Structures are given as C-alpha cells and as structure tokens.
Amino acid sequence: MTIDKIYLVGFMAAGKTTVARVLAARLGWRADDIDELIEARERMTVSDIFARFGEPHFRAIEREMLHLVLPLRHSIVATGGGTFMDPENRQAINMDGVSVWIDVPLDALIARLPADGRRPLATDRAQMERLYATRQIGYAQAQIHIDAGLAPAEEIAERVIDRLKLV
C-alpha cells in the first residue's frame, strides 16, 4: 500500500498543526490546516465564525474545506478538533488517506489552551471534559492511534513515520 496522504485528527491543542508541519518537512510533502484554510477564506478567526454564525455554519465551511483538500497528494492535513466527528468527513478522510489520531491527555490539552477565548468550545471546563470524552469515541475510529502523551512534535512525527513505515 502506498501512502501519499495523512490526516491528523485529535482534540484541540493536541498539536496537529505543528506535527503536520514537522511531518511535511521530514517527508518533503505539503502541510495543510483545515482551520487555517477556513480563516483565510472567511477572513475571520474560527472563534469569530462561531460567535457570529454558530457552530453549524462553521461545520458546513469545514466540510467544504475538507473537500477542497481531498484531491491533494503528498499532503499532511491537520484537521480541526471536530472535523473527524462528522461521519461523512470521517468516511471521506479514511477513504482518501490514512487517519492518525494524535492522542494527548486532557490535562495536557487544558494546560496548552490560551485563556483568551480563541477556542470557543474550551471556555467551560466541565463542557470541555464532556466534549473530550465524547470525541475520544470518534477519534478511536482513526486508522492509526498515536499515544502522544507529553512528547514534543518532532517525536510524535517520528512515531507516525515509524508506524506508517514511510522512511
């Protein structure tokens, strides 16, 4: 099996964007980030989109951005924390490339999150804990599971390369 596309999935602040960039540099591929694509197209932040238009509107744009990256090859795609929760998105991702769950403990994620409101679904600790638990079930449907723990992005990237036997 030839692997020419990797989708990184996992909770917000798991380091998907950073790992995508490290992996892309290591493999000589491109790195794409769904949230960054959304912000560039909409000319506003994810949190502003949530605040002004709501989560359903954001998820519709997210689905569009996912479909834009589907034709790309030799690409590492950092998905948003909720992208993989949509069954249609999950199916598209798993059919197009290899899905890799970057699994980071909740306490580590909370420590990484800025308290400035940039993460609209992280404003309430109890709500975030419920969201984390719910999403773990969805992320478990990824084709590869990387227990990232507190490892730096470079080490996580190497674990992905080793698991996929890419180099």
What's the mean per-residue pLDDT of the chain?
A: 92
- Give the pTM: 0.93
Q: Where in the sequence is the domain holding 75, given as residue range(s)?
A: 5-164
Report the pLDDT value the prediction gives residue 104, as an integer from 0 to 100. 96
Q: What is the pLDDT of residue 114?
A: 65
- According to the model, what pLDDT value does residue 107 have? 87
Yes or no: say if 121 and 12 are a contact pair by the CB < 8 Å rule: yes
Interatomic CA distance for residues 165 and 137, integer angstroms: 26
Q: Which residues of the chain have pLDDT under 50?
A: none
In this prediction, what percent of the chain has a pLDDT beyond 70? 93
Q: CATH number of the domain that 49 lies in?
A: 3.40.50.300
Domains in the chain, number = 1
Q: What is the pLDDT of residues 61-101, one digit of tens each?
A: 999 999 999 999 999 999 999 999 999 999 999 999 999 99
